Structure 1
Amino acid sequence: MAHLFYGGGTTPIELPDRLLAHVKIVIAAKLRRGESFTLTWRHAHDAVDGRTTVWIQPSIALRFVFSSAEPELLDPDLLRGLAAQAASTGGLAFDLNDLEHQPIERRSAAAVA
């Protein structure tokens, strides 16, 4: 599992590496353009019921920590879908329960170079 640290908080948001790799790209693109948005997720089965929403804006520190040193293979269709969602009034949202069994794909080091 990857971790997203939001603001000055010490408790990370746990996400699958594959999802966080895609979310990171969408967040970076939006923040580069000075665009703020909400990020919402429904908690996983093993956590307290409910959902959490955070406000993503350039002045709030974010740190992305991945469990693998190899970068994830990015899916252009998934990136487009997440970007469209982030641009909507509802912001970027996902359900961690739907993501529990998705395969993780990684690029080889040679593919990155």
Structure 2
Amino acid sequence: MRFAYGETAVILRAPLVAGPYGNEGRDWNAATRTDSPGWGFAPRTPDESTTSDSPSVIVGLTGYGPPDADVLPTDRMEVRGEVYEVEGEVGEWRSPLTGWRPGLEVALRRVYIAEG
């Protein structure tokens, strides 16, 4: 399913490179950028319960995308000019009765990049 008024997100995929101490990490400066049309986004609130006098804090977005979108748990996504990490596995909606695959669900968490 594609949303009639869906948004285009940019999927960022970084290669693995050797780190200074022999471990591997992602080189986000060398990431590929792929446009992915047909997404819908909704705000996410924290999973932990809050008291009635403490406000909810939005921690990211939930993305609803087309079933053929190429998104991995190690990717980042650019949405409305902001960069988010894919948090956890990518969920695929699929009917057990018909096999219909309406789309994907992706939890996104904002990436804060320190300057200086």
Q: Scaled by the length of structure 2, what TM-score is found? A: 0.25
Q: Scaled by the length of structure 1, what TM-score is found? A: 0.25
Whichever structure has more strand as a proportion of its residues is: 2
Greater Rg over alpha carbons, structure: 2
Whichever structure has more helix as a proportion of its residues is: 1
